[in-house]
Amino acid sequence: MDAKAIKFIKGSLFFIITLAILFSIQHLWFNYSIKEPLTKELNNIPEVEKAVLEKKYKLGEPINISVTLAEVTNFHKTYTEINEKILRFLGKKPYELLILDNRTDELRELYYDIHYYIEKALIDGSFPMLVDKASEIAKEKNAEAKIYVDKQNMYLHLYKNDNSLYMLISRH
């Protein structure tokens, strides 16, 4: 083997080792400065049953955050608190938040029964009518509906017995 081949092999090995070290450092940094503390913060919220963070190691891929909610009295307040904690840790890093619940087929059916009123309210702003209509339809099925609205989103919480369905609906 000539000197150029040996230099090329040494350079390639050095490059591969450097990349492995950098990826290891990135993995450790993510786990110990973001994943563990953010998961702990989210799990400290009383309404959060379980929070899980997953990061795909592709450039530009968002961090996936799954939050399973327990019994929630005010979905808007809980979602806002979750989102604020995430933003405090991630800043401008992209993320996707998935709210998990224990919905049943009956609650899904209830959502489908009122989703036309939701669409109408999003178009013409008839939120008071939506709240009344959703409560009326929910009572017919021995369930309850809570709707909160802010400038960006509509927060829908349907529940019956120990089961809940949470929906975040963008107003834009």
Query: How big is the CA angle at 101 (ends 96 and 103), to the nearest 5 degrees?
Result: 130
What does the pLDDT read at residue 97? 95
β-sheet bridge partners, residue 64: 54, 96
For residue 57, is pLDDT > 70?
no
- Under a CB-based contact definition with an 8 Å cutoff, are residues 92 and 128 in contact? no
pLDDT bucket at 2, cuts 50 / 70 / 90: confident
For residue 54, is pLDDT > 90?
no
Distance of CA 113 to the CA centre of its chain: 25
SS3 for 36?
helix
Confirm whether pTM is higher than 0.85.
Answer: no
State the Cα–Cα distance between residues 160 and 142, nearest whole angstrom.
7
What does the pLDDT read at residue 133? 96
Does residue 101 or residue 59 have the better pLDDT?
101
Does residue 3 or residue 89 have the better pLDDT?
89
SS3 for 46?
coil
pLDDT tens digits for range 116-157: 999 999 999 999 999 999 999 999 999 999 999 999 999 999
Distance of CA 99 to the CA centre of its chain: 5
**DSSP conformation class of 119:** H
- 71-81 average pLDDT score: 95
